[in-house]
Amino acid sequence: MSLHFEVPQDKIPSVGQRSFLKIGEQAFLLFNVDHHLYVIEDQCPHQGASFFSGKLDGCTIQCPAHGLRFNLTDGCMVNSALLKLKTCAVEHKDERVYIVLDSEVQA
């Protein structure tokens, strides 16, 4: 089962920007890459660091803690299948933006 969380308008990043969003106890980051929104859980699968200050190169985010890089589109670590960050689907409806969450997230 999934839940749809409506993203507040002021949390929708403009092109090239990112925003932080807390839903329940979980932290998420939203990235706008060339008018496409990507949402990841803001917790590195390596040792839990925040990606907020990570360097973004196209759809690749680099963790600021130890430099591992992950693809925003599928969460996979670049050049390895060892680690994967959690990504969320994004839906647009009537000019509103929704994050599709697993039922385990308490919104």
Tell me 15's DSSP state: T
| Rounded to 5°, angle at Cα 28 from 94 and 32 | 55
Q: Are 40 and 51 in contact (CB under 8 A)?
A: yes
Rank residues 12 and 76 by Cβ distance to ligand FES and give the closer one: 76
Min dist CB 68 to ligand FES, Å, is 4
Binding site for ligand FES (CB under 6 A): 44, 46-47, 49, 63, 65-66, 68
Q: In what order do the strands lie in the sheet with 2-6?
A: 2-6, 96-102, 87-93, 36-41, 26-33, 18-23
Rank residues 61 and 101 by Cβ distance to ligand FES and give the closer one: 61
Rank residues 63 and 72 by Cβ distance to ligand FES and give the closer one: 63
